[in-house]
Amino acid sequence: MASIKKPHLVEVLEKDFHLVHNKIVKAKDNYLANHEKEYKQAKRAVEATRKKLAAAKKQVAKSAKAAQKSSSKAAHDQLKKTKAAASIIGDSLNEAKNLMKNKEANLKAAKPFERKLAARAKALEAFEREWAKKIKAEESARKKRAVAARKKRAAQKKAARA
């Protein structure tokens, strides 16, 4: 039966390390950008709703003037409709403002976390550099030991011949 070769523990740990490192780097790159994007979208929604509300207020003023001049039932009904529309737009503006405040709070909370992610990524990179140095030092030490062993064997063969 053929034996299945298990990967060395260091290889497994190194693979896991690289996976974690890549995840942290990707999270750092995307985390703050996503929150900024959401905040900007909410801000644009608030601005758009403000413009709609301003237009609705102008329409209410215009309808009020028309109702005042004509004093007809149709004009008063139109005034009620425009006031209701302005009220609905005002409510949606308040909702958009609340949403923007939440997104802004998320963005403010994301900034310190982004710094933590950056620090972790930097620490992982430093660890990786040190690990590479240790591996190179170990390889060079192994080569030196192999050379010394070859020299020792050669000296022993010479001594055995003489």
Structural domains in the chain, CATH included, are: 9-161 (1.10.287)
Contacts 24+ apart (CB under 8 A), 48-53: 49/89, 49/92, 49/93, 49/96, 50/93, 52/89, 52/93, 53/86, 53/89, 53/90, 53/93
Q: What tens digit of pLDDT does each residue of 121-145 get?
A: 788 888 888 988 998 999 999 999 9
Q: What tens digit of pLDDT does each residue of 20-65 get?
A: 878 877 776 677 778 888 888 888 888 888 888 888 888 877 777 7
pTM for this model (two decimals)? 0.49
